[in-house]
A and B are shown apart, each in its own frame.
Chain A
Amino acid sequence: MRHVKTGIGLVLTALMLFPVYWMVNVSLTRDTDMRKSPPNFFPADPTLEGYRAVLDEQVPYLGVSLVVGLGTVALTLVVAAPAAYSLAKLRPRGGGLLSFVLLIAQMIPGIIMAMGFYAIFLAAGVLNTVPGLIVADSTLAVPFAVLILTTFMSGIPDELLHAARVDGAGAVRAFVSIVLPVSRNSLITVSLFAFLWAWSDFIFASTLDQGGDHQPITLGIYAYIGNNNQEWNAIMATAVVASIPATLLLIVAQRYVAAGVTAGAVKD
């Protein structure tokens, strides 16, 4: 009976992941087989042409995405970690209101933020720049980061902080030498998600970096779809490469991913 369930589970998972399989399959298909009907269901004569195209044309885009992702992680942690410590352990008056504002902030549609940022960035001269994109992308992660870090930091035993106080540590030292090291896992989780969202962002990139010299991989793929819709193996190969961070996240932080999916449902 249990094996029957495992069997059904395998079939359901295979169905669900079929598009992912198809992406990999198409990325390995030769140009000549691309328009075959019906298409090749297995990469019978696999080719790496698509991946060669990625190496030739998409590496700069991947580099920009890497920089934008890391920048977003840094900015997010600097803003969110102290705030979470305060909300979790220092009990500021009005902290509930702040959490409420953060929850609302998560619900604002991206297009609205993009238009506001566009007007501001144009006036400030940071349109089409990497720092501008980092700032915009960080808005995807900061509310989530504060809320989820607050939840994790609330679990730090007060006795631990109390002991530090007795030893004469101030709030800043307690934060740096106790709260941050103890929260290492949650900080890593938040960093992974912030990186993933910045890496995946399309709406800010396409509005705020449309004319930029340094564009992220999402715009690389988008331009690919627009320009040469014949070479789908190259497009899908780029898509496979662009999926690597998501795959790593699932392998490295599997048990935190579920918590990330429910991020919006975090209380307060």
Chain B
Amino acid sequence: MSLSTRTRARDSGRTSGPGHRAARTRGHRHSRSPQWTAWAFLTPVIAYLLIFYAYPLYRNVELSLRDYTVRSFVQGDAPFAGFGNYAKVFADATFAPALWHTIVFTLVSLAFQFTIGLALAVFFARNFRLSATLRALFLVPWLLPLIVSASTWSWMLNSDSGVVNAVLGWIGIGPVNWLTSPEWSLWSVIIANIWIGIPFNLVLLYSGLQAIPPAVYEAAALDGASGPQRFWRVTFPLLRPVSAITILLGLVYTLKVFDIIWIMTKGGPSGASTTFATWSYRLGFGNLVPSFGPGAAVGNLLIVMALAFGLLYIRIQRRQALT
């Protein structure tokens, strides 16, 4: 199902609202207030959101504002520390590198995922024999458990016995210590993450391409536009709304990537692939003595970044829905 058809079905459902509502009230005169019923059906999800979303988030904020030790964590009588944990985090020697790695990881991943995803979407835009099947197979990396992808890439990138170094060896490039050297570990996890993210970009951009009316291309062909001209003058501008959505959602999802990095490198060696997500995990769970306060503080910085882009995404999407 494409995004656009879904949107259309949605919008038509909404515009026909008042008529249906009138019809419903007529046939429904004897029952209780519709609003009462509507909210009764929403009760489970609201209770769920309060207990299993709002409360953990509140606990997380609270963790970041108190000075926890293992003992006070269990007993729950940690002294209030204000923004002490945040000050500690900002002053930490890990802060600047982790911020930089988070930015590099996110931007480089996105740039490649988007470019490759777009190229594939254009390639698949016109049907050919087997195209639907092959397109479905391209979803596999997105569906696999992250631990499966991460451990497979770990072995492929193994310095001595990995297939990647074997292939590089054929073209005369010496063995690269992908996961064990500080220069390469960040790039290793980026490569694996690009692979995992391509399907997401492909699917979104493909559905965007399907929404461009063929008549536009016919007109461009009549005007004698060449292949590249058609792409840069027609496809690319018309795809801009979908591209914006794809990139912003990608930003939100890439910022929070944890599994891949932790499983492949644990953020190392010596912090060379540590991002905010893995740093937060290491503070909270990675050491023998947990430091939940600073860990929660790093997590909350991450959530602020993710939500900033998330709100931007929703804003852009809403605006598109109106036009």
Contact = CB atoms under 8 A, between A and B. Distances in A.
Interface residues of A, number: 109
B42 A139 contact: no
A190 B2 CA distance: 17
Nearest to B44: A79
A227 interface: no
Contacts of A62: none
B166 interface: yes
B292 to A, nearest CB: 7
A154 interface: yes
Given A13-B138, A104-B310, 16 more contacts: A5-B129, A6-B131, A8-B123, A12-B120, A19-B152, A23-B148, A86-B42, A108-B303, A110-B258, A111-B284, A118-B284, A171-B31, A221-B151, A225-B154, A236-B155, A266-B6
Interface string B273-317: 000010011001100000010011001101100110010001001
Given A16-B141, A265-B245, A116 B7 contact: no
Contacts of A119: 56, 59-60, 63, 73, 292
A54 interface: no
Contacts of A98: 42, 45-46
A43 B256 CA distance: 37
A239 B151 CA distance: 8
B10 interface: yes
A123 B263 contact: no
15 contacts: A39-B166, A82-B45, A90-B34, A92-B38, A108-B53, A111-B277, A115-B59, A120-B56, A146-B45, A161-B24, A210-B285, A236-B155, A242-B147, A254-B136, A262-B200
Interface of A: 2-3, 5-6, 8-10, 12-13, 16-17, 19-20, 22-23, 26, 34-39, 41, 78-80, 82-83, 85-87, 90-93, 95, 98, 100-105, 107-120, 122-123, 135, 138-139, 142, 146, 151, 154-155, 158, 161-162, 165-166, 170-171, 175, 196, 199-200, 202-203, 206-207, 210, 218, 221-222, 225, 232, 235-236, 239, 242-243, 246-247, 249-250, 254-259, 261-262, 264-267
A246 B139 CA distance: 10
Contact of B146 (A86, A111, A202, A259): A202
A259 B6 CA distance: 10
B153 A19 contact: yes
Contacts of A203: 258-259, 281
Nearest to A86: B41
Contacts of A165: 24, 27-28
Given A111-B277, A210-B285, A221-B147, A135 B52 contact: yes
The 6 closest A-B pairs by CB, nearest first: A116-B56, A109-B256, A200-B145, A90-B38, A92-B38, A86-B41
Given A200-B147, A242-B148, A17 B306 contact: no
Contacts of A36: 161
Contacts of A202: 145-147, 259, 263
Contacts of A92: 35, 38-39, 42
A107 B307 contact: yes
B253 A264 contact: yes
Given A91-B17, A119-B292, A243 B41 contact: no
Interface string B124-152: 10001111001011111111111111011
A264 to B, nearest CB: 5
B118 interface: no
A36 B248 CA distance: 44
A235 to B, nearest CB: 6
A246 B307 CA distance: 29
B176 interface: no
Contacts of A101: 49
Given A115-B295, A165-B24, A246 B38 contact: no
A158 B204 CA distance: 30
A17 B143 CA distance: 12
A139 B53 CA distance: 8
A267 B258 contact: no
A243 B134 contact: no
B199 A261 contact: yes
A12 B133 CA distance: 13
B161 A108 contact: no
A225 B152 contact: no
A158 B20 contact: yes
A6 B317 contact: no
Given A26-B155, A206-B285, A142 B45 contact: yes
Given A118-B284, A243-B145, A261 B152 contact: no
A26 B317 CA distance: 44
Nearest to A249: B143
